[in-house]
Amino acid sequence: MQGRTDVLNTPVDVSEDFYKLENEYYLAGPVIGFDAATGDGTIQWNYHRWVTDWSFNKMGRHLKKFAEAEIFWKEYEIDPKLRFNISFISQRTIRLRIKTTNVEQVVQPSLMLDGEPPKSNAWSAEDADTKAIYTSAHGSVTLHKTSFRIELHDSSGKHLTSTLGMELLEALHHKTIPFLFTKRVSDYSRSVAASFTMHHDEKIVGCGESFTALNKRGQKVVLCSTDAQSTATKEMYKPIPFFISSRGYGMFVHSSAPITMDFGNEYAGSKVIYCGEDGLDLFLFIGSPKEILFEYTAITGRSPLPPLWSFGLWMSRFTYNSQQQVNEVAERLRFHKIPCDVIHIDAGWFEHGINCDYKFSPQNFPDPQKMVKELKVQGFNISLWQLPYYTQGNPVFKEAVQKQLCVKDANGDLYAEDAILDFSNKAATEWYTEKITPLLQMGIAAIKGDFGEAAPYKGLYASGRTGFYEHNLYPLRYNKLLAKLTKQVTGENIIWARSAWAGSQRYPIHWGGDPEVSDTGMAGTLRGGLSLGLSGFSFWSHDIGGFLDAPEEELFARWAVFGLFTSHSRVHGFPPREPWEFSADFLNTFRSIVEMKYRLMPYIYTQASMCSRNGLPMLRALLLNYPEDETCWHIEDEYLFGDDILVAPIMEKNTTERKVYLPRGKWVNYITKEIYDGGSWLIIKAGILPGLILAKYGSLIPHITLAQSTAFMDWGTVELMAFVTGNDTAKGDFYLKDEDLIVTLEATNTNGQWVLQNKTGQIFTIKAFNEQE
């Protein structure tokens, strides 16, 4: 972190290495051999160094080509000739791989990819002396050979982006980096800077759970997982090396090394991917945001559908610490008729404080199996907190160290003070399996995988690599193992994880870390959720009310609207958290919001199933459904909840109205039943709830009779609410969960009678949104 002390696990900004005068730089030069049929070729990389210059009392610098290096033995190449490859995965996906050495390297199986990507024959090639052009139904890729340059166009011929070489930068006095790689003089390690053009009106979204502005243009994003301890910071629990451009393309950097992405921060006309890896493996996608997410998740995997109960309310605090307390919370939830499916026990179920030894305290939890069984009958599932770090006071510390299960330092000893479990170590995963499996066999429904962002960069791992490559993989290994163990025992796709990397979306659910108890914390949390959804994650949650302090009642109520209209809804943080610990008005408001979600469960589960199949997020930035609307690319304080519901939380204290942007079409206020014209900004007053919920006009949204748990819901009859007037047709989707089938339904009111096109065995009733109860 520039200008700050380099402390343990500070995110690594590799871009700084590309501006050091002492390092060596190799700029992409001519393509000296290329086979258009295979996509294999060779680039000559021209040797440069930074040199200083002087102009009217200002010192500057520029990259200067050197004819020869200070090399004693002349058999080393000054301008090395290195291999690259262009291949095609689908009609919309291109893969560019570039090497910075001719030495054969060990290729390890990728944890980030969901299997080896296929190869597509849908691209035709035209090869000439100076360039090669590949074309599919959706776009084209041009390789310029005189000086290596890649151009990307869509099917209409519109220019999307191009690599930036030195020949395009000579007039810029090196305000940006051209396409090159560097060799560090400190250890001769290599890293790549992939420089691309950026158009004047281009907007960039994605990069994981980023709490900064949704549009990343003008930002420098450091992609290294860290314990952010905030949702109002540029640091991230879940960085993802993937982004989408408003221009109609996206990119994914297939690497676990530290990555920094500069989106016009140093120079407005370029974006530079600084990749710590000693080579480049870059996937490029052509299409709309939805099409790009579909392509990206086709290669990195999609989120499987979590169990129905997980979409209900999760009640928690930091922390319940006894069996009696958990049972009392369950009793009070049912007494106050607050629907709930999960009670989460955080770091309070151990005998030795928060030292995780994977055993219930015999004193505080005398019969945990009985507790789990009895609560299950009442419609509650139990979730448990744990983590893979062990302090010296932890009963398992000595065992983990003696069995060599932890990350080591350069001397082969324990790294730092805590024992950090090494998930690249087979013995460690087997040991961890022995700790987690009995809990799941007891009936625990979900394991919370807290932390995971602190794998030391300089640590040594059983994989044979250092933390430079393992740090960002640690969350992925952690997520994968917990999900595998849960699936083996319960058959369900569910964990509760904080950290992530590319590919972690295959192991839902992830939650948004530790937000401040403030409007700022709430706003940053929403931005993080939107950005993560634009990075391939379908399901997400956050701590309703903020984590780091006791919530204020007014903020808690506003946050509850946002939190319950998120795929997964958990109340968690410092106490009090239970709604009956606040005023009667708050209790009633909170209950009403929860009841609304539970009545909407058929819609929610249908949308979840659709998202799981297509790689789309439940909590969705407006730009995904309305990419042609320029305004939607800037909206970061409202969102779509699935396809048909728009949510605009109240983001300021003591406010009952807010400015809302509604995309094209008509929208219906779910509470007041008012109809608004879209394509404009409106000031709308909240109704009886402290937030705005709107349904898309023309939608047909399924509801179900209220129950106190999803386990008690009667799916025999589902009510369809038609958000239309007169004889207009309402249309919607419904998930037949027993058949794992999504059907599209249409309903029209003809002469006062609803006519439904229903070819299923499901029983539906229909009513208009404005009919009286």
Residue 703 phi, psi (nearest 5): -125, 165
Other Cβ atoms closer than 10 A to 337: 11
Please give the share of the chain, as a percent, with pLDDT higher than 90: 92
CA geometry: angle at 307 spanning 638 and 718, to 5°? 75
CB 59 within 8 A of CB 210: no
Q: What is the 3-state secondary structure (H, E, C) of 363-379?
A: CCCCCHHHHHHHHHHCC
463-504 tens-digit pLDDT? 999 999 999 999 999 999 999 999 999 999 999 999 999 999
Other Cβ atoms closer than 10 A to 744: 10
CB 738 within 8 A of CB 759: no
Q: What is the mean pLDDT of residues 433-452?
A: 98
With a cut of 80, say whether residue 30 has pLDDT above it. yes
Q: What is the mean pLDDT of residues 647-659?
A: 96
Strands in 313-315's sheet, in edge-to-edge order, are 540-541, 510-511, 496-497, 446-449, 381-386, 342-345, 313-315, 569-571, 543-544
Structure confidence at residue 599 (pLDDT): 98
pLDDT band for 169, please (50, 70, 90 cuts).
low
Task: Using DSSP bridges, classify how beta strands 763-768 and 717-722 pair: parallel, antiparallel or unpaired.
Answer: parallel
Which of 530, 454, 435 is CA-nearest to residue 498? 454
CB 397 within 8 A of CB 390: yes
The DSSP bridge partners found for residue 616 are none
Residue 294 phi, psi (nearest 5): -60, -45
Structure confidence at residue 46 (pLDDT): 95
How far, in Å, CA of 376 to CA of 374, rounded?
A: 5
Which of 19, 28, 64, 267 is CA-nearest to residue 165? 28
How far, in Å, CA of 557 to CA of 261, rounded?
A: 37
Q: What is the mean pLDDT of residues 516-524?
A: 98
First to last CA, the chain: 58
The amino acid at 266:
E
Structure confidence at residue 170 (pLDDT): 58
Q: DSSP label at 236?
A: B
Q: DSSP label at 752?
A: T
CB 211 within 8 A of CB 219: no
Judged by DSSP in three states, 442 sits in helix
Residue 490 phi, psi (nearest 5): -100, -20
Which of 726, 627, 285, 278 is CA-nearest to residue 466? 278
* Residue 490 host element (H or E): helix 473-490
The amino acid at 339:
P
236-279 tens-digit pLDDT? 999 999 999 999 999 999 999 999 999 999 999 999 999 999 99
Residue 514 phi, psi (nearest 5): -110, 90
pLDDT band for 61, please (50, 70, 90 cuts).
confident
Average pLDDT, the chain: 96
CA-CA-CA-CA torsion for 8, 11, 12, 15, nearest 10 degrees? -150
Q: Which residue has the higher pLDDT, 569 or 169?
A: 569
With a cut of 60, say whether residue 172 has pLDDT above it. no
Which of 659, 610, 652 is CA-nearest to residue 638? 659
CB 257 within 8 A of CB 169: no
CA-CA-CA-CA torsion for 28, 32, 35, 38, nearest 10 degrees? -40
Q: DSSP label at 653?
A: T
Structure confidence at residue 175 (pLDDT): 75
Q: For residue 235, what are its two tokens?
A: 């640091």
How far, in Å, CA of 353 to CA of 338, rounded?
A: 30
How far, in Å, CA of 475 to CA of 484, rounded?
A: 14
Q: For residue 386, what are its two tokens?
A: 């744990």
CB 625 within 8 A of CB 663: yes
Q: Which residues contact 726 (CB under 8 A, 6 or more apart)?
A: 749
Q: For residue 378, what are its two tokens?
A: 């009442």
Task: Supply the DSSP string of 120-141, one letter for each residue.
Answer: ----EEEE-SSEEEEEETTEEE
Cis peptide before 566 (omega within 30 of 0): no
Which of 458, 478, 607 is CA-nearest to residue 539? 607
Structure confidence at residue 388 (pLDDT): 98
Provide the annotated active-site residues. Answer: 450, 453, 514
Residue 629 burial (10 A CB sphere; 0-12, 13-18, 19+): middle
How far, in Å, CA of 304 to CA of 42, rounded?
A: 41
Judged by DSSP in three states, 697 sits in coil
How far, in Å, CA of 720 to CA of 222, rounded?
A: 46
Q: How far is CA 3 from the centre of its chain?
A: 29
Q: What is the mean pLDDT of residues 702-725?
A: 97
Phi-psi region of 116 (alpha: psi -120 to 50; beta: other; left: phi over 0): beta
The amino acid at 42:
T
Other Cβ atoms closer than 10 A to 622: 22
Q: What is the mean pLDDT of residues 298-302?
A: 98
Structure confidence at residue 68 (pLDDT): 72
Structure confidence at residue 69 (pLDDT): 63
The CA R_g of the chain, rounded to the nearest whole Å, is 27
Q: What is the mean pLDDT of residues 616-624?
A: 98
Judged by DSSP in three states, 350 sits in coil
Task: Using DSSP bridges, classify how beta strands 40-54 and 24-35 pair: parallel, antiparallel or unpaired.
Answer: antiparallel
Tell whether the torsion through CA atoms of 399, 400, 405 and 406 is positive or negative: negative
Task: Supply the DSSP string of 86-132, one letter for each residue.
Answer: EEESSSSEEEEEEES-SS----PPPSSSSSPPP-----EEEE-SSEE
How far, in Å, CA of 556 to CA of 312, rounded?
A: 18
With a cut of 70, say whether residue 72 has pLDDT above it. no
With a cut of 70, say whether residue 136 has pLDDT above it. yes
Task: Using DSSP bridges, classify how beta strands 59-65 and 691-696 pair: parallel, antiparallel or unpaired.
Answer: unpaired
CA-CA-CA-CA torsion for 50, 55, 57, 59, nearest 10 degrees? -10
How far, in Å, CA of 731 to CA of 728, rounded?
A: 10
CA distances to 261, 318, 359, 439, 446 from 315, rounded to whole Å, are 38, 11, 22, 20, 13
How far, in Å, CA of 465 to CA of 460, rounded?
A: 6
The DSSP bridge partners found for residue 239 are 208
How far, in Å, CA of 735 to CA of 606, rounded?
A: 5
Q: What is the 3-state secondary structure (H, E, C) of 366-418?
A: CCHHHHHHHHHHCCCEEEEEECCEECCCCCCHHHHHHCCCECECCCCCECCCC
312-367 tens-digit pLDDT? 999 999 999 999 999 999 999 999 999 999 999 999 999 998 999 999 999 999 99
Structure confidence at residue 75 (pLDDT): 77
Please give the share of the chain, as a percent, with pLDDT higher than 70: 98
How far, in Å, CA of 288 to CA of 623, rounded?
A: 10
pLDDT band for 1, please (50, 70, 90 cuts).
very low
pLDDT band for 4, please (50, 70, 90 cuts).
low
Task: Using DSSP bridges, classify how beta strands 381-386 and 446-449 pair: parallel, antiparallel or unpaired.
Answer: parallel
